[in-house]
């Protein structure tokens, strides 16, 4: 039997003989359900990150599936999503969003017309409690407006799905201070598609609360054709970034890491496991 011939096994599933390593299917994988597979989250390691070994890898990127730290992981970006989210001003791991948007333009349907009270800023950036009926457009909401050198209460979110060289997809999400270089990243993606990789990096910054790291995105090299083909196959199955954006936002809030900056409350609860995030994925989100 040559490499192009197939044999039937495992309940009739097509399995390529072991000498065709590019197409070989591990026996038994036909019984694995989508919910048993995980999409890695590449997370920028901060001084506050509850990740084993984080203190030795500040400013590096942690893979939630392999547990590895990388200084400059490279990906082909195959999905982009943007949105907005606002949580209560007082942190709690159990907080639910007061409002959220899947596209950054309009609130999700369940929030439209809802009346909420939250701390916002006046035109001088001073805190003020306001009661607002959530409008139909994010641009019309006072919580989306900048004050005088103060960011809006409702945070912008950007989520990216990528394909790593070894054939495993990955998700990245940034918000708040992490949004600083997102426009540059989108420009590189628009100009190059998957003809060039995107290399992740970081830079250290400081503010009144301490030291933190901001993601930086660099244009990488030219990927090989196999890497590109694998990325295109996954991209054709839908926007992985859009499908998982809300799940990542809620996971990050439970981790107390919505900004990447040191939290104001050092006694805030910090869940250490990945299960809550991984269990939020839609069952068919992982198209292996």
Residues 198-238 have pLDDT tens digits of 999 999 998 887 889 999 999 999 999 999 999 999 999 89
Q: Residue 160: name the closest of 81, 278, 219 by CA.
A: 81
Report d(CA 220, CA 199) in Å as an integer. 5
Cα four-point dihedral sign 277, 279, 282, 283? positive
Report d(CA 262, CA 59) in Å as an integer. 14
Q: How many CB atoms lie within 10 A of CB 174?
A: 21
Q: What percent of the chain has pLDDT over 70?
A: 78
Assess whether pLDDT exceeds 80 at residue 15: no
Q: pTM of this prediction?
A: 0.76
What pLDDT is stored for residue 149 in this prediction? 67
What pLDDT is stored for residue 59 in this prediction? 96
Q: What are phi and psi of 175, to 5 degrees?
A: -160, 175
What pLDDT is stored for residue 9 in this prediction? 43
What pLDDT is stored for residue 202 in this prediction? 96
Residues 131-148 have pLDDT tens digits of 889 999 999 998 888 877
Q: What are phi and psi of 156, to 5 degrees?
A: -75, 145
What are the structural domains of the chain?
57-98+156-278 (2.40.50)
Asked whether the beta carbons of 120 and 153 are under 8 A apart, the reply is: yes
Report d(CA 131, CA 80) in Å as an integer. 33
Report d(CA 119, CA 128) in Å as an integer. 6
What pLDDT is stored for residue 118 in this prediction? 73
What pLDDT is stored for residue 58 in this prediction? 95
What pLDDT is stored for residue 255 in this prediction? 64
Mean pLDDT rounded to a whole number for the chain: 80
Q: Residue 43: name the closest of 54, 33, 35, 27 by CA.
A: 54
Q: How many CB atoms lie within 10 A of CB 109?
A: 8
């Amino acid at each position: 039997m040559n490499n192009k011939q197939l044999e039937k096994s495992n309940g009739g599933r097509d399995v390529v003989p072991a000498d065709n390593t590019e197409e070989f299917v591990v026996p038994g994988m036909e019984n694995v359900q989508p919910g048993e597979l995980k999409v890695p989250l590449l997370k920028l390691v901060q001084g506050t990150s509850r990740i084993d070994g984080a203190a030795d890898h500040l400013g590096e990127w942690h893979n939630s599936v392999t547990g590895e730290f990388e200084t400059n992981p490279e990906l082909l970006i195959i999905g982009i999503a943007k949105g907005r989210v606002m949580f209560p001003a007082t942190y709690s791991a159990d907080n639910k969003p007061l409002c959220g948007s899947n596209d950054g333009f309009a609130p999700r349907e369940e929030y439209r017309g809802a009346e909420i009270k939250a701390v916002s800023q006046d035109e001088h950036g001073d805190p003020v409690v306001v009661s607002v009926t959530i409008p139909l457009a994010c641009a019309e909401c006072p919580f989306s407006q900048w004050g005088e050198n103060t960011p809006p209460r409702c945070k912008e979110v950007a989520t990216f799905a990528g394909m790593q060289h070894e054939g495993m997809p990955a998700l990245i999400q940034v918000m708040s201070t992490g949004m600083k270089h997102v426009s540059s990243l989108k420009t590189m993606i628009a100009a190059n598609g998957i003809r060039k990789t995107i290399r992740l990096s970081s830079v250290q910054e400081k503010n009144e609360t301490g030291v933190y790291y901001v993601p930086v995105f660099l244009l990488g090299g030219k990927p090989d054709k196999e890497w590109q083909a694998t990325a295109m196959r996954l991209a054709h199955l839908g926007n992985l970034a859009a499908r998982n954006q809300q799940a990542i936002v809620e996971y990050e809030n439970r981790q107390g890491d919505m900004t990447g900056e040191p939290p104001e409350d050092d006694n805030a609860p910090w869940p250490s496991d990945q299960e809550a995030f991984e269990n939020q994925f839609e069952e068919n989100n992982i198209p292996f």
